[in-house]
Amino acid sequence: MGSLIPIGGGADAEIQNLLNTAFNAANIKIVRTKVASENLLDDNHHLHRIAYRLGTYPIGNYAGDDAKGKWFYFLKNILKSAKHNGVLTAKSIKMTLAYALRNSTGPTKVVRVVFRAIQGTDATADHYVAPGNPTSDSDIAQLVDSTGTLSVVLVCPNSLPDQSIPIPNQQADLDVDSHGNIIEKPPIKIFTPQDLSPPPLSPTTRKSRRSKATKTRGAGKATEKTRRKTKAKKTKKATKAKKGR
Residue 42 φ/ψ, nearest 5 degrees:
-85, 180
Q: Could you list the pLDDT tens digit for every one of the 245 residues in the chain?
A: 545 565 545 788 899 999 999 999 999 999 999 999 999 999 999 999 999 999 999 998 888 788 899 999 999 999 999 999 999 999 999 999 999 999 999 999 999 999 998 888 898 999 999 999 999 999 999 999 999 999 999 999 887 788 999 999 888 899 999 999 999 999 999 999 999 998 766 666 556 556 555 554 555 555 555 556 655 665 555 555 555 54
Q: What is the pLDDT of residue 173?
A: 93
pLDDT score at 232: 60
Residue 212: predicted pLDDT: 52
Are 164 and 69 contacting, i.e. CB atoms less than 8 angstroms apart?
Answer: yes
Backbone angles phi, psi at 153, to 5 degrees: -110, 115
DSSP structure class, residue 151? E
In angstroms, what CA-CA distances link 75 with 111, 160, 240? 25, 11, 72
Task: Please give the pLDDT value at position 158.
Answer: 80
For residue 2, what pLDDT is reported? 45
Residue 128 zone, left/alpha/beta (φ > 0; ψ -120 to 50; rest): beta
- Residues 6 or more apart whose Cβ sits within 8 Å of residue 6: 12, 159, 160
What pLDDT, on a 0 to 100 scale, did the predictor assign at position 12? 85
